[in-house]
Copies of this chain bind each other. A is one copy, B any other.
Amino acid sequence: MKDTTAVNQISPLDRVPTSSLIAQQLREAVMSGALAQGSQVGEAELAGRFGVSRGPLREAMQRLVQEGLLDSIPHRGLFVVELAADDIRDIYAARTAIEGAALQAIIGRPDAAGIARRLDKAVAKMHTAAARGDGPVLARSDLAFHEQLVAESGSARLQRMASTLLVETRMCMASLTGKYVAPADLADEHTKITDAIRSGDQAAARKVMEDHMDDAVGRLAGPLAADREGSGSR
């Protein structure tokens, strides 16, 4: 039950620094494809759009560089990373490691059943989106599920790492708009994961996660390779 008395709702108010706000917006721009892969991210223009000077903007960009979302070439500028087929495989290898570990941690918890139930709600959202034939929302709910999965593990570090990997995942999807469509049974695939939590079988759960990721790689790597081949990336 929540405490609703005003005085006890006081929490260490988190004023977010400007550079964090900018970094978050940049992250979303990269994620959605608003900033195309391989394109240069001009400082002056972006600073103007955000209504700040180049200082805070550069600080924000350095954070994305550290995440591996931007590439820095000295005295030339920052560029959105280009994700090739090898990167897709790498991203999913890393995701398998992170999310597999999160899954195992959850299974080890006494309240694993409750976590599975909360994750089921996320799956339900995927179902409704799939029923409406709403591709974008389906893709977003997909990532939301995985984000919540890692969050439920309670590991701040796994969460931070997963966050970046999910941005890259969405980047790939965005770059394949039109070519990539989420499969109809995507939601059911996720039920296998929540079922694995309920089963409590660590080895089986790991296998489920590996298969889930392998499927996704298969869906993405093929179209991406074909896409990159057709048009030089600029």
A interface residues (Cβ-Cβ under 8 A, vs B): 15-17, 19-20, 55, 58-60, 62-63, 65-68, 72, 74-75, 90-91, 93-94, 96-98, 100-101, 105, 155-158, 160-161, 165, 203
Contacts and interface: CB of A to CB of B under 8 A. Distances in A.
A66 B203 CA distance: 33
Nearest to A154: B90
A93 to B, nearest CB: 6
A93 B155 contact: yes
Contacts of A60: 62
B97 A93 contact: no
Contact of A94 (B19, B59, B158): B158
Contacts of A91: 157
B62 A157 contact: no
Contacts of A63: 62-63, 65-66
Contacts of A203: 203
B72 A156 contact: no
